[in-house]
Amino acid sequence: MSPSKNQAMRVLSLLTVAVVGASGRLSHPDPFIDAMLEAEHHRSRRNIDIDDESIVCYDHDVGCFTQKEMTFAGCFPEDPGQGNINTTFNLYSRGSRNDTPVVMLHEIENTYNDIPALRETHKTLFVLSHGLGGSGRTYWVVDMKNALLKVKDANVIAIDWRRGSALPLYSQAAANTMSVGRAAAKFLLELKRIYGYSNKNIHYIGFSMGAQVGGFAGRHYYKLSGQKFGRMTILDAAAPAFEKYGAHVTKEDSEFTIGVHTSAGESIVTGKVGMVSPVGHVDFYPNGGISQPGCSWWHVKCHHERAHHFFNEAVLNSEDPQACRYIGQTCEEEWQKVRTGVCTPKTYEGEMSLTPSGSGKLFIKTNDQAPFCIPVPEEEKALLSSSLPADFQWI
């Protein structure tokens, strides 16, 4: 069967799974996908008056939200504090006992004003955020935290806003990214005030809707302090409700932002739920950024989730100078030519890592299963670009 016919058959198979329910909308057996379909259906049937003067305000410098700025979600965010979303900031370090975090609340200072690990302000402070239906103990957050602490003597904070991201309420969760992001910004500024933590030592890593939390956090941090996070890593930022309304993370939200795109598109039912537009100073599009090899047609979240799998592997590989590196290449004709190996000109411009390099849109080929990284062929190493660090060495 030809590739085009095979692809058509897969789409038809998906459409037999996604059926039209009594509400007149497509429904899907995967709750993650179904929540997005419900949100899109709801938006298409509701005409929001952007001139409405409704406003809601919360304490602890979270501030106010107007109906106009919440047009992208179609509803107001909930209070990120206790009794509502109950956002917590869970601190891990190499000294954590039994993998038990220090649990901190942004609105209660005595939960974070005397923590020995935070006095070591020379260390990088990694901030992780889950997305829709997740928590601070979601498997990828735990895996990323473990990888980071293995390769760096750092502090890692996992934001837990599970009450605000619960399925099936996609629109409400989308709105909550703004209030949780502002709470995160205020919390990080409190750490700066108490311990002297530099903004340059903050590295935010967010996946899916958690990536959008980072955008709002970075913006609010800058609004309150005039400073930006040192670095942000955006892992397949959620597109529905965000991208087409312009209410999304951008490269302006940190001093250096890296984007990783693995499910870019607008076909929710087939799992294309990530942003197409570049979000960083450098954006990596593994395997073209739309679909990923090795993902079965029925596991629609697989393409989306590959973003954190790739970056986790890149983090672990950074510990071993002999390990494979995720090196991106330019291509004027973009992915369709990269895939066939006839891209011209072909230049390796940057690396996807904890200390990324490069600029613009870069493309990476991967394997269809772990280990995903594919070493650059020996005969192509001469294509090394000056965009890579001067001390970069091929393995």
What residues are labeled active site?
A: 208, 236, 304
CA distance 178 to 339: 38
DSSP assigned state of 159: E
* Cα(38)–Cα(240) distance, integer angstroms: 11
Q: Which helix (H) or strand (E) holds 27?
A: strand 26-27
Nearest to 117 by CA among 157, 174, 166, 66: 157
Strand intervals (E) in 276-359: 282-286, 327-329, 348-351
H helices, E strands: number in the chain = 7, 15
Q: How far apart are CA 214 and CA 184, in angstroms?
A: 9
* Residue 197 DSSP label: -
Angstrom distances, CA of residue 233 to CA of 108, 162, 222, 387? 28, 21, 17, 19
